[in-house]
Amino acid sequence: MFMKTNAEDRLGFIFGRRSIRLYSPEAVSEAEVQKLLEAAMAAPSAAAKDPWRFVVVRNRQTLADIVAALPNGQMLAGAALGIAVCGELPAAHDQQLSYLLQDCSAAIENLLLAAHILGLGACWLGVHPREQRMNALKKILSLPPSVIPVACIAIGHPAEAKEPRTRFNRDYVHSEKW
């Protein structure tokens, strides 16, 4: 479906997606979680292998355990839920870690944009490649050995508002050659 608004409005939507770290106590519905996961799985994937796997966590104690394992993950304590985005290495294109990480990252961005569309707040917490964090999540979530935790996404109804922005920097752009 093509949005029937002008390009500036459509791009403004992307600029309006911000990392939200404060949440209201309101629950996120199962239907909303389903839409988030559908959007995540609509991402492109190398050779259409779809190596992404998701663990939806609502249990307060499990979220607290994840908070303890992720030094920058305190916002999960107030989130309605967390979604651990993982990749199954044997399912990745050529069983390559790089493809798994790219595919999972594309799924994460779709999930973040879907949360914004649904009026939810979300924050991406990196896990991979920090071995201590990966091992802690593997244990907390009982992940099989072939599954690699890539990130955790805190999700809830926002209790903060942030202005839209772009972080464009012309110094990072080169034409034709470096």
CA-wise closest residue to 83 among 25, 161, 23, 150: 150
Domain boundaries, the chain: 20-160
Q: Residue 51: pLDDT band by 50, 70, 90 thresholds?
A: very high
The architecture of the domain spanning 20-160 is: 3-Layer(aba) Sandwich (3.40)
Helix axes 97-117, 7-16, angle to 10 degrees: 110
Query: In sequence order, what DSSP letters do the residues of 86-137 get, joined into one string?
Result: EEEGGGSGGG-HHHHHHHHHHHHHHHHHHHHHTT-EEEEEE-TT-HHHHHHH
Please write the tens of the pLDDT for every residue from 66-123.
999 999 999 999 999 999 999 999 999 999 999 999 999 999 999 999 999 999 999 9
Q: Residue 3: pLDDT band by 50, 70, 90 thresholds?
A: low
At residue 14, φ and ψ (nearest 5 deg) are -65, -45
Q: Residue 8: pLDDT band by 50, 70, 90 thresholds?
A: confident
**Total-model pTM:** 0.94
Q: What is the DSSP letter of 158?
A: B
- Per-residue pLDDT averaged across 136-148, rounded? 98
